[in-house]
Chain A
Amino acid sequence: DTAVSQTPKYLVTQMGNDKSIKCEQNLGHDTMYWYKQDSKKFLKIMFSYNNKELIINETVPNRFSPKSPDKAHLNLHINSLELGDSAVYFCASSGTSGGAGDTQYFGPGTRLTVL
């Protein structure tokens, strides 16, 4: 039974399009995150939510909009996609209330390619 799932696994799209990536966790965790991994494999946090509330917005362009309909889901919508958005996006969750000082469980990643 998958703990943190993401869909789709691969996403290929044209510049200027709008796309969404979905994330769901069945661990009962309070906090969820979106990370971006660039072509050099460097991971960086984008957003975190705790119980549907935005905790961290890490200087991400406002073309990126996270949405958390409930604490088990954190979706990422991206408007007007640009070439530089090509990356692997990871969703993760952890149990503590808003803190990163707890073990994080990662989804399988979504590889986004913008043409």
Chain B
Amino acid sequence: KNEVEQSPQNLTAQEGEFITINCSYSVGISALHWLQQHPGGGIVSLFMLSSGKKKHGRLIATINIQEKHSSLHITASHPRDSAVYICAVSRWDKLVFGAGTILRVKS
């Protein structure tokens, strides 16, 4: 069993829908990261959080340390949000990654 589990693995949404991607982890961490990988392959860090909630534009990330769970929300989704969203946890000196969620937003 992976230390970091994401759900769903695949997600198809209609433009405008509210999207939630979940991440659960089973180990102690110092921070949790949400990354975005576009079809072209580049990886961008969206959020790093160790408590509470962060918001950037239409993206919101939350974390519950006690429950070892984080969610990434996308409001008013758009086709350009189509990408792979990866959860990763900082564990000692390294990142441990989830398997990613493939999101496709249809117009």
Query: Mind listing 25 A-B residue pairs with CB under 8 Å?
Result: A33-B94, A40-B99, A41-B100, A42-B99, A45-B96, A48-B93, A56-B94, A88-B41, A99-B90, A100-B31, A100-B91, A100-B93, A100-B95, A101-B31, A101-B50, A104-B33, A104-B45, A104-B95, A105-B45, A106-B35, A106-B44, A106-B45, A108-B41, A108-B42, A109-B42
Pick from B37, B44, B86 the residue with the most CB of A within 10 Å. Answer: B37
Query: B43–A41 contact, CB under 8 A?
Result: no
Query: Chain A residues near B93 (CB, 8 Å)?
Result: 48, 55-56, 98-100
Report, as a range, how many residues of chain A touch the other chain. 20 to 34
Query: A58–B94 contact, CB under 8 A?
Result: yes
Query: Chain B residues near A40 (CB, 8 Å)?
Result: 99
Query: B42–A101 contact, CB under 8 A?
Result: no
User: Which of the residues A44, A98, A105, A111 comes within 8 Å of B97, measured between beta carbons?
Assistant: A44
Query: A43–B33 contact, CB under 8 A?
Result: no
Query: A45–B94 contact, CB under 8 A?
Result: yes
A56-B94, A99-B30, A106-B44 given; 14 more Cβ-contact pairs under 8 Å: A33-B94, A42-B99, A48-B93, A58-B94, A88-B41, A90-B43, A100-B90, A100-B92, A103-B48, A104-B95, A106-B43, A109-B41, A109-B42, A111-B41
